[in-house]
Chain A
Amino acid sequence: MSLLRTMTLGWVLHFKQETRNPFFLWIVICTPIIYATMAYFLFEGGEQPSTLVAAAVGSALMGIWSLTTTAAAAALQRQRRLGILELLVASPTPFWATFLPITIAIATIGIYSLATGMLYVRFLFGVPVSVDDWLAFTVAIPPTIFSIGMLGFLMGSAFVRFRAAWMVGNLFEFPVWTICGFLIPLALLPVWVEPIAWVLAPTWGMSALRNAALGTSAWPDIAMCTALSIVYAVLGGLLLKAFLRLARERATLGLT
């Protein structure tokens, strides 16, 4: 019960805090606008509405991923600078219960990203947001956002070990955008990339949203996305424990 309370409060607190940050809002709102615009120009000015709707969803997920990697690292860096990271780690509450709500809260802000992307193509480009299966589409949104949060959690476990870990966000921004098929069809990528894409939960989330929009079954994708997210959560927790132990052994936890 205490863990649930910690996580809920952490989620609420970080959701409120990060939505007041102009830079983070910029990322979630402008990333879909910029990339949806690019897709509009590149893919023949919206002559194929379904392509543009998929691009709007994809660019929104790109914004969510960018925010998750940037903001999760920034949140930990801030705790370091304020000198509270050691206190949080030393407290009886397991650190994963402190860190997990941060990445989920940040990914949740991605709702703005999704709304921006969809409204933008609808009102500025006049492309009807044609979603064939609204139920599957709506159901697919939470696991997709959750999966990005979990991937951020998995990578974020490194943030506590390495003081320059904020760069991890930079390093993985474009690779995840590319491999998860947010804007680029997986079929265009080299064959060896495909298995990597399969183990990335956002790939299945994107596939679910796209399939729901196009009217093909999205439920297997939703299930796969959820299952992989749970695996990430477990792996992230284990990695976090290992990295924390290393950081404590080497007394590097508080170094900025």
Chain B
Amino acid sequence: MKSLRVFAIGGWLSYRALFHWLRPSLFVMVLLIPSVTQMIFFVYLGRAADVENDTFYIVGNALVAAAVPCLFAMSQTIAEERFTLTLPALVVSPANRVALFLGRAFPSVANGAIVAAFALIVGATIFGIDLSASAVPGVVLAIVIVAFSCTGIGLLNAALGLRWRETAVLSNFILYFLLLFAGVNVPLDLLPDRLETMSQALPITHGAEAARQIVAGSSIADVAGLLGAEALVGAVYALGGLVLLRRFEVVARRNASLEVA
């Protein structure tokens, strides 16, 4: 019961603190508008390169919009705790660590999914992409799974934040990596073989492919394998993140390096 409380209340408070929710307009200005402007940029870049159609870039960038809140929110949970000097208190508390960090991860999944859905709707409207009603459930499912997998890598990112102070650099590094190699903006067949193989282990790769196929008319059953692969990738990252969080916490306590990392 205590763990459930840590999960729910801790996660909610952490989420509110993340955007200093005194002003909800921050959410619009930090997440919603940039997700659309980013999409517009890549749609036109795609037109300039003439390698894929608009739908490719709209779906890809809508999904990568989920990565922004997931990656940054998770790393900020560590960075903000450090900044407000509450990280040591958090670490010495007897609270269940899995509940603690999953509680912070859960709102990220919802957040990422909302941002991605918003970006997709606005992008489809601006560029006149036909999203049929039958595609909506599948696309929503793909968005939620991608938000989950991005939060998984966000947990890993948060763990690295325990060892390295520059969480913004880490988050940006991962985000750029996804933009480039997850099949979001560069079709996988244009990448060298090794990078193409590596992209299979990245979040978004399978989810974006699944969402594109659903928009093109496939059913959820047709893309179940891709969605399963996306969920698996996310689960592996999330597990790795939780293990590393525990490990780095122990190391930080041993070396007294929690606040100087």
Contacts and interface: CB of A to CB of B under 8 A. Distances in A.
B40 interface: yes
Nearest to B23: A164
B35 to A, nearest CB: 10
Given A164-B26, A167-B29, A171-B34, A184 B186 contact: no
A177 interface: yes
Given A34-B179, A41-B191, A26 B48 contact: no
Nearest to A30: B176
B176 A174 contact: no
Interface residues of A, number: 27
A195 interface: no
Contact of A30 (B30, B45, B172): B172
B45 A171 contact: no
A82 interface: no
Contacts of A167: 26, 29-30
Nearest to B44: A184
A177 B41 contact: yes
Interface string B111-149: 000000000000000000000000000000000000000
Contacts of A170: 29-30, 33-34
B180 interface: yes
Contacts of A178: 37, 40-41, 44
Given A22-B169, A23-B169, A26-B172, A37 B44 contact: no
A27 B29 CA distance: 21
B180 A38 contact: yes
A43 B180 CA distance: 14
Interface string A29-53: 0100010011101110100000000
B180 A34 contact: yes
Contacts of A26: 166, 169, 172-173
A189 B47 CA distance: 10
A22 B190 contact: no
7 contacts: A23-B169, A41-B190, A42-B49, A42-B185, A167-B29, A173-B34, A174-B34
Interface of B: 23, 25-26, 29-30, 33-34, 37-38, 40-41, 44-49, 51, 166, 168-169, 172-173, 176, 179-180, 185-186, 190-191
Interface of A: 22-23, 26-27, 30, 34, 37-39, 41-43, 45, 164, 167, 170-171, 173-175, 177-178, 183-185, 188-189
